[in-house]
Chains A and B, each alone.
Chain A
């Protein structure tokens, strides 16, 4: 499908905004202003490509912790993300109960996830089942890292969706590492998408640094799911440019040369060049977008710094639905 220049620019904008926000989080961590960051740098093309294939606020998503770009596309604001980074009042994912990047945004059907990996995969199957039972034409997108596809929960979730032909898109973001462990020690197949043939659903591997290609592949999977054609397993491949998290020292398991080499396939650089080459944007426009993103991020950080912390009393609830307090 040929994308309009407008749409291409929009996709680039979301990737850029996510990157600038993510980079700022690292700075805030170095400044001692936040305690933890887990980064999506290098994943933006896969996430934005997938997000644009959905009907935002209509379809459902069970995300994972690297999905900053995906969440921004769905409607999470930079301000809201900064609140969660800082554990401030008003964090929409958890009221600052969860660590940063444990996403949830009820208003756009982005479901709360926990830290134990692959738990969200099974929820996606359940949501898919509910959609099918209700005879609705929504779809669910669920994301995960390649290492986490080793979990039994992941297999059970995908199996359910295949058995019942549920409208679920399983998107694996293969960034070549699970903290320090490479994919060869997770699976005997070349791509987690190859696992699909054992479970009875289509499996597709896509270049996760190419936002337009991801958009294409996910769009056709969404179309199939929406029209009763069942689930698809997609592996998008990219490189985790940053350490696993702000607590990780990746020099203990990979060389600087390897990282530098892989930065040449940074999806932001690739799309910038592509947009320039195809005359979708000018150098001047790109600069404008850059300064816009910077401004938005700076404003969001200021907003976050001025926001209050929750009071400690909020830690006591809500254990049960009866304890939920609004406002």
Chain B
């Protein structure tokens, strides 16, 4: 096995799937010759040609809407939204069309497509290159929502997403594109969409995170271990469908739950996890469920001190986890 960055693992997944299935194609802004602004599609244009790696007009709703049309026809589009912040022009096509197609046609029509979107802050991107957008989409039945946090999972989950017969929103923590490295097998494997991953066993508290926050959560757990606090870290990996069983089993063991996301607090996905725990593990709890999330301001500000104030980091997670452990 070789060590790879997150973005390299994502490219490998697309490359392998395009090789395996001629119906898979990529469409998005600057994905062709440029290889994507984050270089996620580098080399694929040369390898597969302009017919299968398509530089779209600068228009997100039709990147998704044209993808839906191609998927209805039987192709497998992988649509790239350059930054998750720019997915909103496509909101109608995702919500009104992609998520509802199977239901509204009673299964006659399906939309096997993947929408990839780099999300998240801490990269100096200001309001419109930093957002976390998952909560808008986890609310819509009919869409799977996946957020990998390791190169291994990114490759396996993206391959699973491409093979999935449903629309899948694949959110990539862009701060981790080159920062997060890990072992990635060269061979063909899928990581199933659905199951969460217990990335570290522990007994004192359960720490739930995904994407970039999971990366920091592992660092926090390590630090707290040296203080004698045993943290169980769970990488949710898939937000829809959610792995209730793994969440509840962990809380039943530790009695304490901390949920972390960088998206802002109110209406964030953490509320859903908290509700699942409150409904099904109330009597197992030894402390109130805690959420550590971005502040309720419209988006991440640009200037460094303000950005740092917004962003959740290892230190904030460590403090919150320590507080909860000592409850």
Contacts and interface: CB of A to CB of B under 8 A. Distances in A.
Residue from the set B102, B141, B165 with the largest chain A CB neighbour count within 10 Å: B102
B73 A321 contact: no
A126 B51 contact: no
B298 interface: no
Residue from the set B61, B108, B166 with the largest chain A CB neighbour count within 10 Å: B108
B75 A112 contact: no
A93 interface: yes
Interface in B19-74: 25, 51-52, 54, 56-57, 59, 61-62, 65-74
A318 interface: yes
B25 A133 contact: yes
A201 to B, nearest CB: 14
A321 B97 CA distance: 15
A67 to B, nearest CB: 16
Nearest to A168: B69
A111 B25 CA distance: 21
Interface in A284-327: 317-326
Nearest to B97: A119
B302 interface: no
Contacts of A125: 62, 65-66, 69
A95 interface: yes
Contacts of A116: 92, 96
B62 A160 contact: yes
Contacts of A320: 102, 142, 144, 166
Interface size class of A (residues with CB under 8 A): 35 or more
Contact of A318 (B61, B74, B96, B102): B102
B62 A133 contact: no
B108 A106 contact: yes
A321 B92 contact: no
Interface stretch (A39-47, A150-158, A240-248, A269-277): A150-158
A321 B102 contact: yes
Interface in A113-133: 114, 116, 119, 122-131, 133
A323 B107 CA distance: 8
B106 interface: yes
B110 interface: yes
A112 B109 contact: yes
A111 B102 contact: no
Interface in B192-212: none
Contacts of A94: 104-106
20 contacts: A95-B106, A104-B109, A112-B105, A112-B109, A114-B104, A122-B61, A122-B62, A122-B69, A123-B69, A125-B65, A126-B65, A129-B54, A129-B69, A130-B73, A153-B93, A156-B57, A163-B57, A317-B103, A318-B103, A321-B102
Interchain residue pairs A-B with the least CB separation, the first 6: A126-B69, A122-B65, A324-B107, A95-B106, A130-B73, A123-B69
